[in-house]
Amino acid sequence: MKISDGKVVSTSYTLYTLSPDDEFELVEEVGEEEPMLYLAGHSGLPPQFEENLNGLSAEDTYNFEIAPEDAFGEYYDDNVVDFSVEMFKIEDGKVPAGFLEPGNPIPFTNDDGARIQGRVKEVIDDKVVIDFNHPLAGKKLKFEGKIISVRDASPEEMDHGHVHGPGGHHH
C-alpha cells in the first residue's frame, strides 16, 4: 500500500539541520520502537515532508532535504525583541533562579491574546533578549527515515483529522 492522503503512516526518522556549509547537527531521532504516526494530508508537518513520503510503501527508506522557506520559515531579526529584566522579576521581586538561561522557553501572550513561546537568547546587563523565531527557523532540514507501515485511516480518524490508537490520540 502506497502513502497518499487518508493513509495512516508509521515512520522512524532522524532529523538533522544543515548549516550553510552542509554541516549536520542532530535534532531528533525517532526510532522504530516508538515511531511517529501521522494521517497523510493532515499531519501539520511541512508540506514538503509529506510530498517526499507520498508514494512510498512499508520498508521503503527516504533521505531528503527541505529548504528553510519550505520548512519552518526564514529567520527574522524582527522576531528578536529586547525586554527589561524587570519584567521577569516574578518571584518575590526577583528573577527565579535559572529562568533566564539562554535557550529557556518563556511563555508570552501577544497583542491578540494568543499564547506564543519565546526563547531566551541572551541577557545583557538589565536587558533580556527574547527570540520568537521557531527553533528551526532559517534552517535547512535533512530527514533520513524508513516507512514502517501504511494503512487506511478509519472513518473516525478521517473525521477527527488525526490518528487513533497506540502512538496516536486517545480520547
Applying the rule CB under 5 A, the residues between 32 and 71 that interact with Zn ion are none
Give how far Cα 76 sits from Cα of 6, 21, 70, 123, 136, Å: 35, 20, 15, 19, 12
Comparison of 127 and 169: residue with beta carbon closer to Zn ion: 169
**Taking contact as CB under 5 A, which single stretch among the options 30-38, 95-103, 136-144, 161-169 is the one that binds Zn ion?**
161-169
Question: Residue 146 interacts with Zn ion (CB under 5 A)?
Answer: no
Secondary structure tally for the chain: helices H, strands E: 2, 9
**Least separation in angstroms between CB 169 and Zn ion:** 5
**CA-based nearest residue to 88, from 104, 68, 75, 76:** 104
Contact call for residue 89 and Zn ion (CB under 5 A): no
**Residue among 42 and 160 whose Cβ is closer to Zn ion:** 160
| Nearer Cβ to Zn ion (2/169) | 169
Residue showing the smallest CB distance to Zn ion in the complex: 160
Grid look-up 526563547 returns: 119
89, 145, 169, 170: residue in contact with Zn ion (rule CB under 5 A): 169
The reply to whether 160 sits near Zn ion by the rule CB under 5 A is: yes
Round to whole Å and give the CA distance between 95 and 91: 6
* Closest distance of CB 54 from Zn ion, Å: 23
Residue 86 dihedral angles phi and psi, to the nearest 5° = -55, -35
Q: Bin 166: left if φ > 0, else alpha if -120 < ψ < 50, else beta.
A: beta
Site for Zn ion (CB under 5 A): how many residues? 2
DSSP β-bridge partners for residue 12? 146
Residues 99-128 touching Zn ion, rule: CB under 5 A, are: none
Residues that bind Zn ion (CB under 5 A): 160, 169
